[in-house]
């Protein structure tokens, strides 16, 4: 496959081929997961909700004391250039900021941070399937740390829990902390009960999802009442509709939890999930 179809990368201050070995072993992203990241979906060559992702990136960076080597406008310009260079219309931009490249030592080093980025094709067909037919999940203890609003590179609890779900033969898992559902391994979660959308408040225990924020503003336009409050697994099992929200999967129903059928109403035409899906599609760049 040519570089154009595979995508493009940027690291150590220059554009490189995806497989070019440019990052030294001493990048703190490897050794400590010491950094933060973002994922943006590009539709028809245009990055969706770019400004919101940039602002969250900035919040995550500040929360762990990282300083970007350029202005936020400079970051936007880099992302836009990378999308053009990739020659991809439908893609995902991944970018991360590590604390830098320095000999391994727990203390913060006095070195510049290291920004790296990839633009890669996105295969929407697997996401289309879950958006249409729904996904099966299990519940699993939220084994993550206290600062889940930071989009940290430390995803070990997320990947372990995702694999646990796949090994159990389902699509994903929802985290449960102190008896309440927090979010999915890489998505936020909401339920519809008696016409009202209920989702975990944007506290330090969840990622403040860009798709979640977009859904909440669509609810205001569609006249769907929203309550940001915690809910228990028992409440979830009796919801009318349940769905996840994330950049790549967008809005996708959940139809089974721990082997029990739930929220099947979501699959019917005219359900809240179907209305939100159409409203979301209408917001995408043309």
Could you say which of 113, 247, 271, 277 contacts ligand PDD (CB under 6 A)? 247
Of 171 and 211, which has the nearer Cβ to ligand PDD?
Answer: 211
Task: HSE, CB side, 13 Å, CA atoms: give it for residue 15.
Answer: 14
Part in contact with ligand PDD (CB under 6 A); list of ranges 6-14, 27-35, 190-198, 208-216: 208-216
Cβ neighbours for 64, distance < 8 A, ≥ 6 positions apart: 34, 35, 36, 99, 150, 152
Alpha helices in the chain (DSSP H): 3-6, 28-32, 50-63, 72-86, 125-133, 156-167, 210-222, 233-237, 272-283
Our finding on whether 142 is near ligand PDD (CB under 6 A) is: no
Of 29 and 245, which has the nearer Cβ to ligand PDD?
Answer: 245
The least distance separating ligand PDD from the CB of residue 202, rounded to whole angstroms, comes to: 11
User: From the candidates 46, 62, 126, 151, which is the catalytic residue?
Assistant: 151
Our finding on whether 118 is near ligand PDD (CB under 6 A) is: no
b/e per residue 89-110 (b: at least 16 CB within 10 A): eebbbbbbbbbbbbeeeeeeee
Part in contact with ligand PDD (CB under 6 A); list of ranges 65-73, 135-143, 204-212, 217-225: 204-212
Q: Are 244 and 254 in contact (CB under 8 A)?
A: yes
Our finding on whether 182 is near ligand PDD (CB under 6 A) is: no
Binding mask 34-73 for ligand PDD (x = CB under 6 A): -----x----------------------------------
Cβ neighbours for 236, distance < 8 A, ≥ 6 positions apart: 174, 181, 191, 242, 257, 262
Of 3 and 39, which has the nearer Cβ to ligand PDD?
Answer: 39
Our finding on whether 183 is near ligand PDD (CB under 6 A) is: yes
Q: Are 99 and 224 in contact (CB under 8 A)?
A: no
**Cα 60 to chain centroid, rounded:** 14
| Annotation says 151 is catalytic | yes
Could you say which of 86, 152, 186, 199 contacts ligand PDD (CB under 6 A)? 186
Residues that bind ligand PDD (CB under 6 A): 39, 183, 186-188, 207, 209-212, 245-248
């Amino acid at each position: 496959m040519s570089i154009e179809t595979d995508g493009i990368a940027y690291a150590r201050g220059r554009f490189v081929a995806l497989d070019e070995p440019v990052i030294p072993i001493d990048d703190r992203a490897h050794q400590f997961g010491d950094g933060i990241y973002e994922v943006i979906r590009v539709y028809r060559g245009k990055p969706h909700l770019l400004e919101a992702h940039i602002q969250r990136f900035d919040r995550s960076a500040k929360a762990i004391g990282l300083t970007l080597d350029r202005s936020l406008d400079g970051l936007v310009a880099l992302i836009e250039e990378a999308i053009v260079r990739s020659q991809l219309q439908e893609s995902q931009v991944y970018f991360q900021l590590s604390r830098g490249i320095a000999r391994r030592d727990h203390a913060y080093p006095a070195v510049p941070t290291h920004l790296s980025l990839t633009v890669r094709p996105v295969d929407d067909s697997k996401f289309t399937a879950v958006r249409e037919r729904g996904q099966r999940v299990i519940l699993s203890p939220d084994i993550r740390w206290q600062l889940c609003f930071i989009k940290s590179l430390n995803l070990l609890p997320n990947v372990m829990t995702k694999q646990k779900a796949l090994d159990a033969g389902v699509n994903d898992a929802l985290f449960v902390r102190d008896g309440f559902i927090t979010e999915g391994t890489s998505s936020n979660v909401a339920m519809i009960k008696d016409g009202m959308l209920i989702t975990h408040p944007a506290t330090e225990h969840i990622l403040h999802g860009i798709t979640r924020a977009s859904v909440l503003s669509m609810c205001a336009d569609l006249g769907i009442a929203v309550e940001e409050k915690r809910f228990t697994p028992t409440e979830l099992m009796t919801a009318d509709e349940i769905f996840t929200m994330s950049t790549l999967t967008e809005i996708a129903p959940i139809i089974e939890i721990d082997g029990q059928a739930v929220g099947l109403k979501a699959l019917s035409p005219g359900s809240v999930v179907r209305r939100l899906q159409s409203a979301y599609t209408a917001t995408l760049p043309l």
